[in-house]
Amino acid sequence: MRANLIAGEWVEGAATVADVNPSDLSDVVEEFAVADEAQVDAAIEAATAAAPGWAATSPAERFAVLERVGLELETRATELGEQLSREEGKPKGEGVGEVLRASQLFKFFAGEALRVPGEHLRSVRPGVDVDIVREPLGVVGVITPWNFPIAIPAWKIAPALAYGCTVVFKPAEMVPASAWSLVEICARAGLPDGVLNLVIGPGRVVGERMLNDPRVRGVSFTGSQATGARVAQALAARFAKAQLEMGGKNPLVVLDDADLEIAVDCAAQGAFFQTGQRCTASSRLIASAGIHDRFVEELVERMRSLRVGHALADDTDVGPVVSADQLEQDLDYLTVGRGEGAELVHGGARLERETEGYFLEPALFVGTSNEMRVNREEIFGPIATVIRATDPDEALVLANDTEFGLSAGVCTTSLAHAARFRDGLQAGIVTVNLPTAGVDFHVPFGGTKASSSGSREQGRYAVEFFTTVKTAYVRP
Ligand code: UN1
């Protein structure tokens, strides 16, 4: 049993939660302590008590701690990557890659701790100076989803610590092992007690407590739209800051002049890798009339070659769906799509493997219209749709006809089309001849419309959320 970290102490809970391997339901990764309300309060209390001390540390001290975390993550990438794949189900290579990304995030924000921005101006009043400084927000809540068990915690916790905030961290209960390992590494890297607290438990207990406590000055959340709305409401009611990353229904437009191989590669990776369980997944493939049939044919060919299996097997391209609930949701959408008249040209079958797991064959619907539910709602599984567009103009209209705006891509060899779609796509992230998913660690991440709310995550833009601005007028 692995415990929660509160005020520098590893504390057990009244209950535990089992971390089960979705590739092999007989394999329990570990049991984890579940925090109750009093423990969440204690974690908030500890983060509050630790806040002034941590805010007062020098940039060099914060740099040193974050860099140590980054280095240990890098050294242990294989071990932690396999643990991640075991608990979440993404193939080993992607698990290891994700741990390396977490390492890079910590190293990046180690550097950012050294260059917290500020400004010095002369006042409009003679003899007065103006200093504009950024101060830590204070205690922040970090609520993370199950699909990136270490990278998303890293990209919230690393900037929080770099900019001098203290943290109460609630990871997804389905994948606590990666979160626990990250916190354990941080604790050993020299963080003072209470600066980072881990409270594993359900949203209705742990999350709610954090949302309603006035000492928590902001919450950075990635997860579903419904929960995001709840977070936003609770925080708005007490004027605390919210940073929300939610769903996507990301279009990938394939124009007649696209390089077919690149387009198929982008679609297969973007739609099906990591079992389609990414908010940046290319779930709506919009192909213009002149390339549509060839694109579908080649994509189906590629799908046939994808090996679905145990996340830790060497030859697996696509791992299992994360849970029984998620699998049920995916299967429901397959039924919904068929009912709406979409044609399933490949996949959608539950697959038997040596171990009992949630294996689902990647599925492709064609002949879909943008009005169908399978084109409006985020499925979050290995299911993509194809919409036929008459020309680039219609493709752009279809791409933008969605409530979401996280990521959007276009495949084209025309510079003019590339420029037009880069400017015209309504999304926080736009890609040209690249998958809509799989982003860099040193530049901003986030969306428009109903995908995101609050300031951007990652890169130097992360400073906006984790700090407040103080304007000091000084007459020497
Ligand atoms: C990526 O595509 O590399 O939950 C990152 C998600 C996103 C992260 C995607 N917040 O899928």
Question: CB-side exposure of 118: number of CA atoms within 13 Å?
Answer: 17
Helices (H) and strands (E) in the chain, counts: 15, 22
pLDDT at 215: 98
Residue 166 contacts residue 51 (beta carbons within 8 Å): yes
Q: Determine which residue's CA is closest to atom 3 belonging to ligand 1.
A: 438
Query: CA 126: distance to chain centroid?
Result: 49
d(CA 334, CA 342): 9
List of residues 6+ apart from 215 with CB closer than 8 A:
44, 45, 47, 48, 138, 139
Q: How far is the CA of 291 from the centre of ligand 1 (A)?
A: 29
Which residue matches tokens 């906006």? Answer: 464
Torsion of CA 34, 36, 41, 46, to 10 degrees: -30
Any atom of ligand 1 within 6 Å of the Cβ of 279 = yes
Report the chain's terminal Cα–Cα distance, integer Å. Answer: 59
Any atom of ligand 1 within 6 Å of the Cβ of 439 = yes
Q: Determine which residue's CA is closest to atom 4 belonging to ligand 1.
A: 279
Collapsing DSSP to helix, strand or coil, 331 comes out as helix
pLDDT at 127: 97
d(CA 160, CA 142): 9
Question: CB-side exposure of 268: number of CA atoms within 13 Å?
Answer: 23
Give the catalytic positions in this structure: 245, 279
Any atom of ligand 1 within 6 Å of the Cβ of 437 = yes
Any atom of ligand 1 within 6 Å of the Cβ of 245 = yes
Which of 445, 452, 453, 456 gets mutated to test ligand 1 (max ligand atoms within 8 A of its CB)?
445
Q: How far is the CA of 123 from the centre of ligand 1 (A)?
A: 43
DSSP output for 82-144 = HHHHHHH---HHHHHHHHHHHHHHHHHHHHHHT----EEEE-SSTT-EEEEEEEE--EEEEE-
Report the nearest atom of ligand 1 relative to the CA of 438: 3
Any atom of ligand 1 within 6 Å of the Cβ of 250 = no
Any atom of ligand 1 within 6 Å of the Cβ of 278 = yes
Q: Determine which residue's CA is closest to atom 7 belonging to ligand 1.
A: 279
Record the tokens describing residue 442, joined without a space.
């040193």
DSSP state of 278: S
Q: Determine which residue's CA is closest to atom 10 belonging to ligand 1.
A: 279
Q: How far is the CA of 111 from the centre of ligand 1 (A)?
A: 23
Residue 258 contacts residue 225 (beta carbons within 8 Å): no
Strand order in the sheet with 467-474: 119-122, 129-136, 467-474
pLDDT at 128: 98
pLDDT at 14: 86
Residue 142 contacts residue 476 (beta carbons within 8 Å): no
Q: What is the pTM of this model?
A: 0.98
Q: How far is the CA of 438 from the centre of ligand 1 (A)?
A: 7
d(CA 215, CA 193): 18
Q: How far is the CA of 319 from the centre of ligand 1 (A)?
A: 17
d(CA 293, CA 299): 10
Which of 152, 155, 156, 249 gets mutated to test ligand 1 (max ligand atoms within 8 A of its CB)?
152
Cβ count within 10 A of residue 436: 29
Q: What are phi and psi of 42, to 5 degrees?
A: -65, -35
d(CA 165, CA 216): 11
Q: How far is the CA of 280 from the centre of ligand 1 (A)?
A: 5
Across 446-475, b (16+ Cβ under 10 Å) vs e yields bbbbbbbbbbbbbbbebbbbbbeeeeeeee
pLDDT at 71: 98
Torsion of CA 49, 52, 54, 57, to 10 degrees: -150
Report the nearest atom of ligand 1 relative to the CA of 278: 11
Q: How far is the CA of 245 from the centre of ligand 1 (A)?
A: 9
Which of 142, 146, 249, 278 gets mutated to test ligand 1 (max ligand atoms within 8 A of its CB)?
278
Q: Could you read off the pLDDT tens digit of each residue along the chain, which spans 476 residues?
A: 999 999 999 999 989 999 999 999 999 999 999 999 999 999 999 999 999 999 999 999 999 999 999 999 999 999 999 999 999 999 999 999 999 999 999 999 999 999 999 999 999 999 999 999 999 999 999 999 999 999 999 999 999 999 999 999 999 999 999 999 999 999 999 999 999 999 999 999 999 999 999 999 999 999 999 999 999 999 999 999 999 999 999 999 999 999 999 999 999 999 999 999 999 999 999 999 999 999 999 999 999 999 999 999 999 999 999 999 999 999 999 999 999 999 999 999 999 999 999 999 999 999 999 999 999 999 999 999 999 999 999 999 999 999 999 999 999 999 999 999 999 999 999 999 999 999 999 999 999 999 999 999 999 999 999 999 999 999 99
Helix, strand, coil % (nearest 5) of the chain? 40, 25, 35
Report the nearest atom of ligand 1 relative to the CA of 436: 2
DSSP output for 149-177 = TTHHHHHHHHHHHHTT-EEEEE--TT-HH
pLDDT at 247: 93
Task: Give CA angle at 321 (348, 368), nearest 5°.
Answer: 40
Closest Cα partner for 192 from 40, 54, 69?
54
Beta bridge mates, 314: none
DSSP output for 8-60 = TEEE--SEEEEEEETTEEEEEEEEEEE--HHHHHHHHHHHHHHHHHHHTS-HH
